[in-house]
């Protein structure tokens, strides 16, 4: 029985192992089926064991009843104990024994346990052995009992039994019918032991019949298990088919195919899973569409952004060079756009930008590409056109823009524009060079009086200017990739005691002959060619390294880092700043980010979120170039900054210009009321420094305070303001 069960278990285990070896993973159907088959096998084994032991118990009970009956019969046939010459009685005894094949031997013993007579039903049973004394004593106790015999079974062979029963006579007392001598009887029945009868029984026939039935049951169970296995596998596969059907769609979903279709499921649980997967795919598809939209479109106007436009420009360049046709690139800059911001505020400027975007879209053909390059700049790719067609497209835009009027706060604004045009033709085109040409043509249009278009011409001067711009682009690209920029540090001091509060981080580029190039010489080109974000990240990374190198536990080093408007277009800005500064152990309260006034006042919502996220991390912000043409005082109360940097144009001629003095004093007072500290730039002498202190300015920066150095000095030697005033008054 155990062997067959083990074979069945091994068979299913082997099937499971083959399935696992094929797929490298456990198969759900096989695992469930194996558990069910093993459970059924265990239940079946318990049932068979119960059958075996129950059958044994029933047989034991039957054996006992049969032994009792046969013992009573043999007691009646106990002639060998008192009739030694009664042949008829002996024949009856032998006939009785032969009638029952279960009886191996019958032996009669005398009272002392000595064998008197035996009858064997089988051969080779061995000699008859005297009854041990203890068994005689135990058997005598059975005389007159409810079970007048002793039964002993085999420990290792349950089919063998030995029965020992006492044989006795009883004398009947006077019952009044017969005349008995009272002296021979005390009025009670007397029992006299005359010997013992021993029976050897072997019920192997019944036991073998039981085992045969159990074997049949085992075979039936194995057949049922096998049938159950195959049928269960079929049922489980059909029940789990809906789960298996999900494998291919989920794999496609993992590959990014969000248009995958899921087959409907018949079972409620699987149907719920399918619905959840369809909801997930739909949500991911919507998210990807939004991400693609954000990555390729301007959030304010819905037009293509600079990145997507450049991709379209590259594709059009390839088509032009491959098919020998021509197209045109138009660069558009709004004229005097800042005035609407100054008069009506930033939301009004946004509304005008959206209106201009709609007008540009209506003024172009359906296959042309219109994009917002940033701020009030737009670019248009006019496909499959010649010079005349490009001129006509530009004139159409100018005419429509001249007719457009925008009303804001009962004021009428006309958004005129200047357009630069360059042609895409020939077989040696570069997108950066084309953008530079269109930008140059747009600047020429502005210089010629604005509200007009200018076509880029490949003159010697323009070619030289193009070569210079392309040279700057290549040099800047190489400087970013090879870490060829340098960081310099200029101190910013408190005016009252001369203590250095922090250093502004400045970027420089060194020429091959060792001369330093100021940022004004190369940052415009970096802006035009879209390299400012990479340069900003370079500055952040190296400023963090400088902080780690020069900062000391007893000397606090604080740095002011400039950020351009372009870097706020990058969604990774906050994560990059946090990761970089954490890597170098930079404390957020030791960093001040400087942004220009133009970005602060005209910043869109996503820039606002970026600044808010950095402030939440603990970084401070400084408003740079404050006071330069944006109606600054009307916006100051709406801005949330820690420092105001007064533009150097107010400080340069401070001693001789009372108007500048009043402007600076007003800035200092408003900053103080708003909880912001004021910093004056371009401080060149002690007199200016003293006067700035008298006007209420908190800090100063300039050559007189400290020139830029390659290594920051955490603290300068304080010089009292009173000594400076005394020196000034003595002159």
Nearest to 544 by CA among 593, 501, 499: 593
Lowest-pLDDT choice from 19-23, 678-682, 692-696: 19-23
Three-state DSSP at 406 gives strand
Which of 78-87, 391-400, 417-426 has the least mean pLDDT? 78-87
| CA–CA dist 135, 424 (Å, integer) | 126
Q: Which of 80-84, 587-591, 623-627, 699-703 has the lowest mean pLDDT?
A: 80-84
Least confident segment among 163-177, 311-325, 532-546, 618-632: 163-177
Higher pLDDT, 621 or 343: 621
Average pLDDT score over residue span 266-285: 71
Q: What is the mean pLDDT of the chain?
A: 78
Q: Which of 175-184, 487-496, 560-569 has the lowest mean pLDDT?
A: 175-184
The answer to which of 246-250, 308-312, 420-424 has the lowest mean pLDDT is 246-250
351 has a pLDDT exceeding 90: no
Distance, C-alpha 51 to centroid of its chain: 56
pLDDT of res. 279: 76
Which pLDDT score, from 0 to 100, does residue 717 have?
A: 46
User: How many Å apart are CA 501 and CA 487, to the nearest integer?
Assistant: 19
Report the distance separating Cα 575 and Cα 130, nearest Å. 103
Confidence grade of residue 490 (pLDDT, cut at 50, 70, 90): very high
- Give residue 4's pLDDT band: very low, low, confident or very high (50, 70, 90): very low
pLDDT at residue 112 tops 60: yes
Q: What percent of the chain has pLDDT over 70?
A: 71
Contact 692, 720 (CB under 8 A): no
Q: What is the maximal distance between C-alpha atoms in the chain?
A: 176
- The Cα–Cα gap between 245 and 250 comes to 9
- Across 56-60, 205-209, 255-259, 522-526, the highest mean pLDDT is recorded for 522-526
pLDDT of residue 122: 76
Q: Worst-scoring range by mean pLDDT, 6-10, 569-573, 667-671?
A: 6-10
Which residues are paired to 320 by β-bridges? none
Instruction: Indicate the SS3 state at residue 383.
Output: coil
pLDDT digits over 250-259, tens only?
Answer: 776 666 666 6
Binned at pLDDT 50, 70 and 90, residue 386 comes out as very high
> Is residue 158 scored above 80 in pLDDT?
no
Beta strands per DSSP E along 545-704: 559-562, 591-596, 620-626, 643-646, 677-680, 699-700
> What was the pLDDT predicted at 346?
74
Mean pLDDT of 609-638: 76
Residues in the chain: 731
| CA separation for the pair 162, 512 (Å, rounded) | 119
Q: How far apart are CA 320 and CA 309, in angstroms?
A: 16
Average of per-residue pLDDT across 390-408: 88
pLDDT tens digits for range 278-304:
677 777 777 766 766 677 888 889 899
- Region 487-498: what's the mean pLDDT? 92
The predicted pLDDT at position 424 comes to: 93
Asked if residue 202 has pLDDT above 80, the reply is no
Architecture of the domain whose range is 72-170+190-205: 2-Layer Sandwich (3.30)
Contact call for residues 75 and 197 (beta carbons, < 8 A): yes
- Band of residue 144 on the pLDDT scale cut at 50, 70, 90: low
Q: How many Å apart are CA 429 and CA 423, to the nearest integer?
A: 10
pLDDT score for 586: 93
Average pLDDT over residues 253-267: 67
CB neighbour list of residue 694: distance below 8 Å, 6 or more residues apart? none
Helix, strand or coil, per DSSP, at residue 711? coil
Helix axes 268-296, 204-244, angle to 10 degrees: 30
For range 87-100, the mean pLDDT: 74
Can you tell me whether residue 123 is helix, strand or coil?
Answer: coil
What's domain 327-458's architecture? 2-Layer Sandwich (3.30)
Q: CA angle 541-544-547, nearest 5°? A: 150
- pLDDT, one tens digit per residue, over 14-63 is 554 554 454 455 666 566 767 776 777 777 777 777 767 776 677 667 76
pLDDT at 601: 62
- Are both 72-170+190-205 and 327-458 of the same fold? no
Whether the pLDDT of residue 186 is over 80: the answer is no
Greater confidence (634 vs 619) lies with: 619
CATH superfamily, domain 486-729, is: EAL domain (3.20.20.450)
Percent of the chain predicted with pLDDT > 90: 25
Q: What is the pLDDT of residue 1?
A: 45
What are phi and psi for residue 416, nearest 5 degrees?
Answer: -75, 165
Question: How high is the pLDDT of residue 516?
Answer: 86
Read off the tokens for 422. 């360059």
> Among 13-17, 158-162, 336-340, 385-389, where is mean pLDDT lowest?
13-17
The predicted pLDDT at position 242 comes to 66
Q: What are the residue ranges spanned by the domains of the chain?
A: 72-170+190-205, 251-294, 327-458, 486-729
Bigger pLDDT: 262 or 489? 489
């Amino acid at each position: 029985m155990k062997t067959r069960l083990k074979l069945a278990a091994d068979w299913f285990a082997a099937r499971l192992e083959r399935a696992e070896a094929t797929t490298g993973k456990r198969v759900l159907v096989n695992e469930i089926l194996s558990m069910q088959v093993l459970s059924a096998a265990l239940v079946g084994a318990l049932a068979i064991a119960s059958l075996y032991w129950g059958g044994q118990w029933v047989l034991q009970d039957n054996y006992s009843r049969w032994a009792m009956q046969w013992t009573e019969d043999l007691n009646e046939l106990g002639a060998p104990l008192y009739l030694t010459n009664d042949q008829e009685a002996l024949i009856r005894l032998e006939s009785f024994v032969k009638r029952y094949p279960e009886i191996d031997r019958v032996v009669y013993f005398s009272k002392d346990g000595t064998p008197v007579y035996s009858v064997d039903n089988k051969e080779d049973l061995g000699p008859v052995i005297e009854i041990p004394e203890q068994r005689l004593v135990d058997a005598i106790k059975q005389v007159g009992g409810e079970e007048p015999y002793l039964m002993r079974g085999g420990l290792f062979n349950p089919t063998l039994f030995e029965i020992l029963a006492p044989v006795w006579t009883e004398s009947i007392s006077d019952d009044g019918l017969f005349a008995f001598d009272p002296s021979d009887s005390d009025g009670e029945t007397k029992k006299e032991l005359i010997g013992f009868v021993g029976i050897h029984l072997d019920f192997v026939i019944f036991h073998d019949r039981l085992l045969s039935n159990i074997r049949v049951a085992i075979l039936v169970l194995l057949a049922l298990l096998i049938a159950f296995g195959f049928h269960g596998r079929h049922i489980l596969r059909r029940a789990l088919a809906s789960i298996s059907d999900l494998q291919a769609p989920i794999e496609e979903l993992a590959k990014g195919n969000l248009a995958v279709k899921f087959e409907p499921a018949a079972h409620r649980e699987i149907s719920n899973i399918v619905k959840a997967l369809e909801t997930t795919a739909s949500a991911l598809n919507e998210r990807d569409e939004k991400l693609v939209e954000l990555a390729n479109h301007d959030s304010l106007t819905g037009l293509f952004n600079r990145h997507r436009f450049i991709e379209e420009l590259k594709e059009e360049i390839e088509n032009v060079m491959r098919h020998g046709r021509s197209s045109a690139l138009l660069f558009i800059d709004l004229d005097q756009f800042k005035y609407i911001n100054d008069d009506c505020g930033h939301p009004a400027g946004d509304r005008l930008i959206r209106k201009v975007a709609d007008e540009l879209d209506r003024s172009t053909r359906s296959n042309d590409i219109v994009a917002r390059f940033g701020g009030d700049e737009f670019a248009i790719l006019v496909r499959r056109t010649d010079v005349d067609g490009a001129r006509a497209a530009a004139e159409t835009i100018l005419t429509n823009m001249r007719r457009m009027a925008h009303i804001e706060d009962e004021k009428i604004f006309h958004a005129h524009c200047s357009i630069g045009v360059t042609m895409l033709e020939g077989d040696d085109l570069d997108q950066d060079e084309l953008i530079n040409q269109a930008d140059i043509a747009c600047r020429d249009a502005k210089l010629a009086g604005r509200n007009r278009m200018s076509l880029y011409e490949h003159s010697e001067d323009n070619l030289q200017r193009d070569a210079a711009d392309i040279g700057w682009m290549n040099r800047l690209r190489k400087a970013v990739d090879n870490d060829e920029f340098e960081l310099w540090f200029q101190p910013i001091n408190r005016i009252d005691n001369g203590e250095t509060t922090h250093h502004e981080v400045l970027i420089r580029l060194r020429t091959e002959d060792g001369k330093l190039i100021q940022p004004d010489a190369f940052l415009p080109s970096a802006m035009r060619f879209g390299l400012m974000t990479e340069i900003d990240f370079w500055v952040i990374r190296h400023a963090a390294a400088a902080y780690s190198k020069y900062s000391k536990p007893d000397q606090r080093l604080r740095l002011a880092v400039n950020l351009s408007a372009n870097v706020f277009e990058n969604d990774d800005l906050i994560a990059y700043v946090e990761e970089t500064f954490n890597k170098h152990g930079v404390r957020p309260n030791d960093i001040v980010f400087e942004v220009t006034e133009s970005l602060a006042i005209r910043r869109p919502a996503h820039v606002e979120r970026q600044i808010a996220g950095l402030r939440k991390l603990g970084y401070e912000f400084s408003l740079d170039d404050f006071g330069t043409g944006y109606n600054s005082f009307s916006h100051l109360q709406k801005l949330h900054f820690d420092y105001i940097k007064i533009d150097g144009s107010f400080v340069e001629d401070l001693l001789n210009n009372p108007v500048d003095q009043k402007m600076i004093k007003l800035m200092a007072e408003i900053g103080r009321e708003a909880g912001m500290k004021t910093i004056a730039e371009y401080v060149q002498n002690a007199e200016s420094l003293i006067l700035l202190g008298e006007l209420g300015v908190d800090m100063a920066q300039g050559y007189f305070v400290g020139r830029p150095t390659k290594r920051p000095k955490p603290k300068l030697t304080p010089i009292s303001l009173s000594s400076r005033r005394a020196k000034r008054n003595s002159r």
